[in-house]
Amino acid sequence: MVGIIIIIGIIENYYHKKNLQKIGLVIHVNGTRGKSSITRLIAGSLREAGYKTATKTTGTQPRLIKTNGKEEHIKRWGIPRVVEQMRIISKISKENPDAAVLECMAISPEMQWISENKMLKSDIGIISNVRLDHTDKMGESIDDIAKTLSLSIPKEGKLITADQKYFKLFKKKAEQKKSTAYFANLKIVKEDYITDFNYPVYKENIACALQVSRLLDIDDKIAIRGMQKANPDPGTLRFFKYKFKKNNIYLINAFAANDYISTLKTWKKWQEWYDFNDYKYIPIIGLFNNRSDRSFRLKQLSDIKKDINFKELIIMDNRIFNLNKIFLNNYNVDINIKRKSKSNKDFIIELSKKYKEDIILFGFGNTKHQGYDMIKFFSGNGVEIKC
């Protein structure tokens, strides 16, 4: 039996290598935040430059973007597994693409290494940034997390990062693998590059994507034009309005932000793009979409009230347990106000009756399940406020 399994593994590995050889350029996008956005930005710039490009993201909703630009939802059975990357490589190799841009889906150190060195063997690797997250698997300190992310650096390839603090570490690790490291300096991103997008974007993300296009000798104007044409990830910061009777219920979709730094950056980005002066007198309700297997994030975000003046915080989780008492004591918290038995509309009506005025919902913590349901409700029943 063991022998049969070994033989099957050898055969699978053989065909996987053959599939990789059909792809001209492999780009592996890793990091704590911004992976999905960077993946889409890079792919957009390559398509605009004439590259036949396939893309795979694992963000709010896992998507395969074919070489013709059409998106497919990736169906999964059970929890996400890194081996999914091999299945995707097999599928996109049939299109003989010039390039494949794939978002990293590995978390633990061993899987970070396997994902790059055994599955993707990329030509260009990206580490967007290093933030304190997934401390249960990636390491308890931010230094540990940086070391874990460095395991995805390609061998004899190129590495790009926008994280200045850990650039020296990544450069050293890259040199050990005979790779060259490049710092994605924000100075290469001109202000008009940002303002020409019709949704909020981060300079760090554009800088990483632009550094890739420059390595491929793609003109900046062509690259930026392609980035602007690329569809944003469903988890991208967006702003919606839903009318209920005489009141406006707003949703700031920041559900993809689930660490302190990212949450605060997203809040400031919203203020910058949507003119906070127009909304500063409206009560802000925090919607923390908690995952019961990620309750450690509650402690990490315990000081966010110092920077965002929530009227109250509502924790959305149908299976809350092990909540950090220090965190909860800092708020007037309604726990689990949104239950499975309530529709999104019932939840909105409940809040509207409670406040009897316009309110802003700031959704953060996680995009899964109730977070994504909330995004779908506002995007399907409300209107998006363009920046």
Q: pTM for the complete prediction?
A: 0.84
Q: Given the structure tokens 């913590």, which residue do they identify?
A: 365
State the DSSP H helix or E strand holding residue 193, giving kind and residue range, or none if neither.
helix 191-195
Token reading at 310:
């929530």
Alpha helices in 217-324 (DSSP H): 220-229, 260-273, 296-300
DSSP-derived secondary structure letter, 130: -
pLDDT in tens, 165-203: 999 999 999 999 999 999 999 999 998 888 888 888 999
Per-residue pLDDT at 119 exceeds 50: yes
pLDDT in tens, 266-319: 999 999 888 888 888 999 998 888 765 555 566 666 667 778 888 887 877 645
Angle (nearest 5°) at CA 265 between 261 and 266: 120
Q: What is the pLDDT of residues 202-253, one digit of tens each?
A: 999 999 999 999 999 999 999 999 999 999 887 788 899 999 888 999 999 9
Would the pLDDT of 37 be above 70?
Answer: yes
Token digits of residue 6: 């070994």
Q: In the chain, what are the domains?
A: 2-229 (3.40.1190.10), 238-384 (3.90.190)
